[in-house]
Amino acid sequence: MLEMKHVTKVFNPGTVNEKVALNDFSLTLEDGDFVTVIGGNGAGKSTMMNAIAGAWNVDAGEIIIDGTNITKLPEHKRARFLGRVFQDPMTGTAATMGIAENLALAKRRGKVRFLGPGITHKEWEEYRELVKILGLGLEDRLSAKVGVLSGGQRQALTLLMATLQKPKLLLLDEHTAALDPKTAAKVLDTTEYIVNKDHLTTLMITHNMKDAIAHGNRLIMLMDGKIILDIRGEEKKKLTVEDLLHKFEAASGEEFTNDKAILG
Amino acid sequence: MNILNLFSAMPGAVAQGLIWGITAIGIYITFRILDIADLTVDGSLCTGGAVCIMMMLSGHNVVVAMLVATVAGMVTGLATGFFHTFMGIPAILAGILSQLGLYSINLKIMGKANQAINVDKYDLLVSLRYIKGVPFYKNSIFVVAIGIVLLVLLLYWFFGTELGCALRATGCNGNMSRAQGINTNTSKVLGLMISNGLVGLAGALLAQYQGFADINMGRGAIVIGLAAVIIGEAATSRIFHNFGFKLIGVAIGSIMYYIVLQVVIWLGVDTDLLKLLSALVVAIFLAMPYWRRKYFAKPAVKKGGKDNA
Ligand SMILES: Nc1ncnc2c1ncn2[C@@H]1O[C@H](COP(=O)(O)OP(=O)(O)O)[C@@H](O)[C@H]1O
Ligand SMILES: [Mg+2]
């Protein structure tokens, strides 16, 4: 489904701030994989996702989604393969537009936009049903501007938008990190529900080890722009936080420094 | 200071306000919807006027002349959009570059700095002379008002289409727009073209109305347009929530601006100072949101209950 082959990304090359954010990075996902991604601050997790999403071009390597080489495609053209939810709840929605209008924008991802209606009457009914799965009461406020919603509501809506057109790959970059624990748990439940319902291939970055263990069928850990741990199958199912710490020490050759960013 | 003089000047102020209202609606599209301050308009207003007058002087029909003036305005927007998106120049600077370049282009279109058109010899759509003593359907106030209603209907329809929604999303949140597959560069170019097309049309009307096109006719257009947008919003935001009515509100703001201007002139204020006054008024209004945040912001209260979504 996704193949990243020997991808390298260097920020600020040739300056004192030079940073190799992805270092000969390779990753292959199978259809239906739900991979959780952990790693310390600055490990390159977001950079990995931005490379896939096309925020900038990578310096070397190839990225292939479902047989299509997207390495050189501009961001908006890759969007038809991808659903994205960002860490910052403000990033995923258009605040000055209504809830239904935002969904309608997402519905047209990957389609040619011309002079057809921005949203049809039929869609209003469709979205009224759709937002019910969030259990947030949004079905009664479809015309409300997204700007008046709470962070959790916006993330839940962004999740719906990301999956409204079934994406080949769903990218979640710490999408619950900015929410309070209760809200975060709820958004995570919704994520699990949607991913299972639509059998979405998913990459989910999280700063919370327990979440990384509880969700998905595979777990990878990044450090210095490389994958240092890759756990799947039965091993993943039996994984505990302690195992993970031991494995981290073995893989990195470092004492685990009770890094808050990793433990969550 | 005969009050009757003021009253007799009012119809003219209203007509001018309406024509500038079209400019202001164009500026609303870039400034409020796309979140770009586009300075092209100082040049494209004159381009519209120049093209319209020259076309009519060479024997073309007024409707054709105005259509071509609109298209010419759109081309100026295309140029700015190209500078901004393809060449990566900041939007303000891109507009200034277009504006400067247009000075030469406008001179070339007119052949000199000023071209007059005689209302008795040519069939103009609007004119100073069509304000009083003409049947209502020929009255410039009526004609431009109808024109604005039609334009607002057209824009209302357009911003409800897929393309129009993409444009609104682009102005609101570029990241989100690209994530939803919107080419934000295309949106910006399109918005600049629509905006300057409207400004070109306004220039064509203004040149007919005053009976000449002049190389300086667009000087400060961005400020007058912003003033109209701001005054219109301040006066009508409580009552107008629908997008179409907001555009009408902008046109109303423009009329109010010209009425106030007439009053100031009638009060005997030195007309050399008018642009300075406009600039100061706009500066203060633009500062309002900033001041409000800085000095009157309420401490952020966490709204319990609403957050546990
Ligand atoms: N746009 C950028 N410009 C410069 N440096 C960047 C940029 N994005 C990320 N980096 C750097 O690359 C490294 C990896 O960042 P990131 O992928 O965001 O880490 P994380 O694993 O915490 O998400 C960090 O050192 C970060 O400072
Ligand atoms: Mg990150």
pLDDT tens, residue by residue, B181-211: 999 999 999 999 999 999 999 999 999 999 9
Pair A138, A131: CB distance under 8 Å: yes
Q: Which atom of ligand 1 is nearest to the CA of A225?
A: 14
Ligand nearest to the Cα of A173, by number = 2
A:B CB pairs within 8 Å: 103
The CATH number given to whatever domain includes residue B151 is 1.10.3470
Task: Say yes or no for a CB contact (<8 Å) between B169 and A94.
Answer: yes
B82 in a structural domain: yes
Residues recorded for chain B = 309
Inter-residue contact B28 to B184 (CB < 8 Å)? no
Closest ligand 1 atom to residue A48 Cα is 17
Q: Strands A68-69 and A60-65, how do they pair? A: antiparallel
CA A152, A181, A213, A21 torsion: positive or negative?
positive
Provide DSSP, A155-175.
HHHHHHHHHHS--SEEEEEST
What is the structure's pLDDT at B305?
Answer: 39
| Ligand 1 pocket member A41 (CB < 6 A) | yes
Rounded-to-integer distance, Cα A148 and Cα A38, Å: 32
Residue B241 clears pLDDT 90, i.e. is over it: no
Look at residue B190 and tell me if it is in a domain: yes
User: In this predicted model, what pLDDT tens digit does every residue of B30-77 receive, in sequence order?
Assistant: 999 999 999 999 999 999 999 999 999 999 999 999 999 999 999 999
Instruction: Kindly report the pTM of this predicted structure.
Output: 0.91
pLDDT in tens, chain A (264 residues): 899 999 999 999 999 999 999 999 999 999 999 999 999 899 999 999 999 999 999 999 999 999 999 999 999 999 999 999 999 999 999 999 999 999 999 999 989 899 999 999 999 999 999 999 998 889 999 999 999 999 999 999 999 999 999 999 999 999 999 999 998 999 999 999 999 999 999 999 998 899 999 999 999 999 999 999 999 988 888 888 888 888 888 877 766 555 544 444
Q: Which residue has the tokens 């359907």?
A: B137
Residue B258 located in a structural domain:
yes
DSSP B27-45: HHIIIIIS----TTHHHHH
* Residue whose C-alpha is closest to residue A154's, from A107, A187, A185: A187
- Measured from the Cβ of residue B57, the count of other Cβ atoms closer than 10 Å reads 17
Is the distance from CB of B211 to CB of B117 less than 8 angstroms? yes
A224 CB near ligand 1 (under 6 Å): no
| Residue A143 CB less than 6 A away from ligand 1 | no
Distance of CA B240 to the CA centre of its chain: 19
| A232 to chain B, closest Cα gap in Å | 29
**pLDDT attached to residue B300:** 53
B184: closest chain A residue by CA: A76
Residue B241 lies in a domain: yes
Strands A226-232 and A218-223: antiparallel
Neighbours of B202 (CB within 10 A): 35
Classified as helix, coil or strand, B116 is strand
Model confidence over A141-184: pLDDT tens digits?
Answer: 999 999 999 999 999 999 999 999 999 999 999 999 999 999 89
B249 occurs within a structural domain: yes
The residue to which tokens 């298209």 are assigned: B71
pLDDT at A264: 43
For position A242, what pLDDT does the model report? 86
Domain count, chain B: 1
Residues B240-257 as b/e (b if ≥16 CB within 10 A, e otherwise) read beeebebbbbbbbbbbbb
Give the C-alpha distances (Å, rounded to integers) separating A44 from A69, A70, A85, A228, B217: 22, 20, 17, 12, 55
Which amino acid, one-letter code, is at A150? S
DSSP 8-state symbol, A23: E
How far is A255 from chain B, CA to nearest CA, in Å? 38
Interface of B to A at Cβ within 8 Å reads: 158-166, 168-169, 172-173, 175-184, 306-309
- The response to whether residue A47 sits with its C-beta less than 6 Å from ligand 1 reads yes
pLDDT at B308 over 50: no
Instruction: Please enumerate in sequence order all residues whose Cβ is within 8 A of that of B220, keeping only pairs 6 or more positions apart, or say none.
Output: B42, B275, B278, B279
Rounded Cα–Cα distance for residues A49 and A27 (Å) = 12
Extract the tokens encoding B289. Answer: 């949101």
**pLDDT at site B159:** 97
**Rounded to an integer, what distance in angstroms lies between the CA atom of residue A41 and that of residue A153?**
26
Q: What percentage of chain B reaches a pLDDT higher than 70?
A: 96
Q: CA nearest B79: which of B171, B167, B200?
A: B200
Q: What are phi and psi of A254, to 5 degrees?
A: -120, 150
d(CA B129, CA B210): 9
- CA of A222, nearest ligand number: 1
DSSP per-residue letters across B47-107: HHHHHHHHHHHTT--HHHHHHHHHHHHHHHHHHHHIIIIIS---HHHHHHHHHHHHHHHHH
Domain residue limits at B78: 3-295
Of B161, B183, B307, the CB nearest to A76: B183
Q: Phi first, then psi: give them for residue A38, nearest 5 degrees.
A: -125, 170
Report whether residue A79 contacts ligand 1, using a CB cutoff of 6 Å: no
Query: Does any domain span residue B306?
Result: no
> With bands split at pLDDT 50, 70 and 90, how would you rate the model's confidence at B116?
very high
Instruction: Kindly state if the Cβ of A206 falls inside 6 Å of ligand 1.
Output: no
pLDDT at residue A248, rounded to an integer: 81
Contacts of A85 (CB under 8 A, 6+ apart): A92, A155, A158, A159, A162, A170, A171, A172, A173, A175
Q: What is the pLDDT of residue B298?
A: 64
B181: nearest CA partner in chain A? A76
Query: CB atoms < 10 A from the CB of A168, how many?
Result: 16
> Does the pLDDT at position B249 exceed 60?
yes
Pocket test for ligand 1, best of A47, A203, A227 (most atoms within 8 A of CB): A47
CA distance A148 to chain B (A): 11
Question: Is position B69 within any domain?
Answer: yes
Report which of residues B305 and A111 the model is more confident about. Answer: A111
Looking at residue B309, what is its pLDDT?
A: 36
Task: Give the pLDDT of residue A256.
Answer: 57
**ipTM of this predicted structure:** 0.90
Residues B141-169: pLDDT tens digits? 999 999 999 999 999 999 999 999 999 99
- Partners of B188 on chain A (C-beta within 8 Å) are none
Q: B168 and A96 in contact by Cβ < 8 A? A: yes
Tell me which ligand sits closest to the C-alpha of residue A42: 1
> Which carries the bigger pLDDT value, residue B55 or residue B302?
B55
Domain membership of residue B23 (yes or no) is: yes
